[in-house]
Structure formats: structure tokens, C-alpha cells
Amino acid sequence: MNTELITFFIFSFLLIVTSVKVITSSNPVLSAIYLVFSFFLSAVLWLLLGAEFLSIILILVYVGAVMVLFLFVVMMLDINIAKKSAAYIKYLPVGIGVFVIFNVLIIFFFISTFENINYNAINSINVISESNTENLGYVLFTDYIVEFEIAGLILLLGILSAIVLTYRKNPNNKYQNPTEQIDVEKKDRLKIIKGLKE
């Protein structure tokens, strides 16, 4: 047993534990925290493959930004403990169905490709340098520039449409105008009256 394999087994075991905890814990905030941990652990697995860029970006984007906003929303909700009664049993068959189908697909995929897996696939794209951060950047901005830009545009559209769908102008809202506030001078606020007798 080499260290890489041992690390892999420890972290993948923890990953399975935390992923199960995500769906079994009754408190939504706890679920979100376990999801954060599972992102972390999968980042470690990617790091073991030598995919440093992907693993750090996973932490940076999903843990550092997406899950923070997620936690934000979940904390605002006033449901501390989800009841696992009627709804739990009602959705159980659907859950089992999805679980089975998904796993069957994954297992079929693996059986057909298991022999041909190139464990060093990520390291072997040697475009310009050893570091796969540089390689990914190079490939994204040359070979896949169109797809990359389209993905960016789709994300931008997503942001814009979320704003368009939720933004309602309330005529009663009172706004402060910062530039106006900054531009205030003495004569706007203070009136000196001359000629008053003591």
C-alpha cells in the first residue's frame, strides 16, 4: 500500500460519510455544512490526481462563494427541524428509483471504460508546461475559446435574468444619493444670520 492509495481511501470514505450526512441530517444548516465538507474532500481527491487547478477552483468557487450564499439563504429560513413523516415515506420510492438508475448508469459506464482508464490523463496533456493550471488556461483560450466565451455569456444571461425576474421597483422606497451627500458644503447646511442683537 502506498501513501497515495491510503490517502485516497481515507478521503473517499470521509467523502461518502459526509455526502450521506448531507441528505440525512435534519437541520438544513448542518446539511449545507456537510455539503461544504464534501466539496472539500472531493477537492482533495482531485489534488491526488494531480489536478491542482480544478481542486483549488472547486474550493474557491463552490466553497468560497456558492455555498456561502447558500448558507445565507438557508439560515434565513425558519425551519429548524424538517419533519420526516408522511413526506419522507411518500418520496422514498422516487428516491430509491433515482438512486438505482443513476448507479446503474455509472456502473455501466465504468465497466465499459475501466480497462482503458488513463490514470495520468490530466498530467499527460502537456501543452506548454508542467503546470496544469497553465495548460488549462492555454487550451481554454486557444482551442476552446468559442465554447469558453459562450459559457461566460450564458452565465451573464443567468445573472441578468435573475435580476429581471426578481426586481420590482417600489415607488415608496427612499434612496440616498451618495454623490449628493458627499458634495454637501457648509453653505447648504449652515445659515449665518447677521445683525442679530445679543
Q: Which of residues 19-48 bind other proteins (CB under 8 A)?
A: 27, 29-30, 33, 36
**CB of residue 52 to other proteins, shortest distance in Å:** 5
Q: Which amino acid belongs to residue 176?
A: Q
C-alpha grid cell, residue 74:
438557508
Q: Does 57 bind other proteins (CB under 8 A)?
A: yes
Q: Does 53 bind other proteins (CB under 8 A)?
A: yes
Distance CA 111, CA 102 (A): 14
Q: How many CB atoms lie within 10 A of CB 18?
A: 19
**CB of residue 34 to other proteins, shortest distance in Å:** 11
Alpha helices in the chain (DSSP H): 3-24, 28-48, 52-57, 67-76, 86-113, 121-124, 132-142, 145-166, 178-182, 186-189
Q: Does 8 bind other proteins (CB under 8 A)?
A: no
Q: Burial of 43 by CB count in 10 Å (0-12 exposed, 13-18 middle, 19+ buried)?
A: buried
Q: Measured from the CB atom, is 163 or 192 closer to other proteins?
A: 163
Q: Measured from the CB atom, is 3 or 112 closer to other proteins?
A: 3
Q: Which of residues 97-156 bind other proteins (CB under 8 A)?
A: 130-131, 133
Q: Burial of 59 by CB count in 10 Å (0-12 exposed, 13-18 middle, 19+ buried)?
A: middle
Q: Measured from the CB atom, is 101 or 153 closer to other proteins?
A: 153
Interaction site with other proteins (CB under 8 A): 3, 27, 29-30, 33, 36, 52-53, 56-57, 59-60, 63-65, 68-69, 71-72, 75, 130-131, 133, 176, 178
